[in-house]
Amino acid sequence: MPGHIIHNGELIKNEAVFTAGHPLVKGTNALRFQWFVMSSMLPFYQDEFRRICAFATKKGLKMPPWMTASTFAQDIYHLFQMNRIYQGGLLNMIIFAGSPSEDASYIMTAETRTNKKFILNEEGLLIDVFRNHRLYSMSAEIYDTGLSPTETSALFDMHKGRLQQMVILNEHFHVARFVGANFLMTKNEMVYTPALEEGAMDDIMRQKTIEACLNLNMKVYADCILHINEIKSADEIMVLHPVHGIQWVVGFQEKRFYRRTSPQLIKEVNRLFFGK
């Protein structure tokens, strides 16, 4: 358990008083975020802060008026310094409010990671399609960056089937995202990822992966409508995860895939996030 946490800008010792499972947080309107942080600083923290504020507004949460991108960055720095996390770390943030009239509160926690960059998985992921529920693109749960109710149900089926990921569909039975991550596929040297209107997560990892593809002279279609049967025709499938980075997929049902684009793509993503 980390020694210190941030609660509403105040650095306090973690005595299990404020956690995501505490009654203060349960049953309230809430948003959850996770990031990989290196050297006590969240890359593109200003962009991430703008995203947090936009998601909070759409979820009906009033951010504290004194909280800015600068105080957000200071919170992260102090949290990592006090917990003696000087290389890679996992940052967790939950924003919550008991009623629409009150300002939201927030909690930050940090955990140590041994790696200093995003690491490509050695073994490919096994995936399938979650068919029991769909992610409605106009619903509030699309902004739940922790796990939406639909993704939580998919997570149960994923573990039951001994899989590492599940493809989430929207109300039109189009590919929306993975559980807690975005979907990307390559075919004939072109890159495809679902449009935000289809249910893709509007996060920095998606933005920077698209930028990395363009830097590598790949043709990118970032506003796609993808159908289930197109997954099997792909050359490569990748998971764009906000914590783990790019992960390659080895199998979807009976179809097998290979690492082709993902090694060079994650190398470019690491350069964009962390520099040389």
Q: What is the pLDDT of residues 100-141, one digit of tens each?
A: 788 999 999 999 988 889 999 999 999 999 998 888 866 666
Where on the phi/psi map is residue 34: left (φ > 0), alpha (ψ -120 to 50), or beta?
Answer: beta
Regarding whether 88 and 170 lie in a shared domain, the answer is: no
In a domain, 247, yes or no: yes
Residues 172, 74 share a domain: no
pLDDT at 230: 92
How far CA 56 is from CA of 3, 32, 147, 175, 230, in Å, comes to 28, 10, 15, 25, 34
Task: Give tens-digit pLDDT for 210-246.
Answer: 999 999 999 999 999 999 999 999 999 999 999 999 9
For residue 257, is it within any domain? yes
Total domains in the fold of the chain: 2
Query: Of the residues 90, 113, 136, which one is the last residue of a structural domain?
Result: 113
Residue 197 per-residue DSSP state: G
Same domain, 236 and 174: yes
Among 37-51, 146-160, 198-212, name the one with the lowest average pLDDT: 146-160
119, part of any domain: no
User: Of 83, 113, 143, which residue is a domain's last?
Assistant: 113
- Any domain includes 12: yes
The values of phi and psi at residue 88, to 5°, are -90, 145
**Are residues 96 and 135 located together in one domain of the fold?**
no
Residue 118 is assigned to a structural domain of this protein:
no
Claim to verify: residue 188 and residue 108 sit in the same structural domain: no
Domain termination residue (choose one: 48, 79, 113): 113
Domain that holds residue 183: 125-274
* 79-91 tens-digit pLDDT: 999 999 988 899 9
**Which stretch of 59-63, 73-77, 146-150, 259-263 has the lowest confidence by average pLDDT?**
146-150
- Phi, psi (deg, nearest 5) at residue 223: -130, 45
Same domain, 183 and 234: yes
- Alpha-carbon distance of 145 to 94, in angstroms, equals 10
154 and 191 together in one domain: yes
Q: Are residues 264 and 142 in the same domain?
A: yes
- In this structure, what CATH number is given to the domain that contains residue 210? 3.20.10.10
Measured in Å, how far apart are the chain's first and last C-alpha atoms?
32
Residue 101 sits in the same domain as residue 229: no
What pLDDT is attached to residue 152?
83
Q: Tens digit of pLDDT for each residue in 183-211?
A: 999 999 999 999 999 999 889 999 999 99
- Model confidence at 30, pLDDT cuts 50, 70, 90, reads confident
The answer to whether residue 71 is domain-embedded is yes
Residue 35 lies in a domain: yes
In a domain, 130, yes or no: yes
Indicate if 157 and 214 belong to the same structural domain: yes
Is a pLDDT exceeding 70 seen at residue 28? no
Same domain, 153 and 267: yes
- Residues 250, 143 share a domain: yes
Average pLDDT, the chain: 88
Q: CATH number for the domain including 107?
A: 3.30.470.10
Taking 80 as the threshold, does the pLDDT of residue 39 lie above it? no
- Return d(Cα 220, Cα 32) in angstroms, integer: 29
Across the strands, what pairs with 31? 95
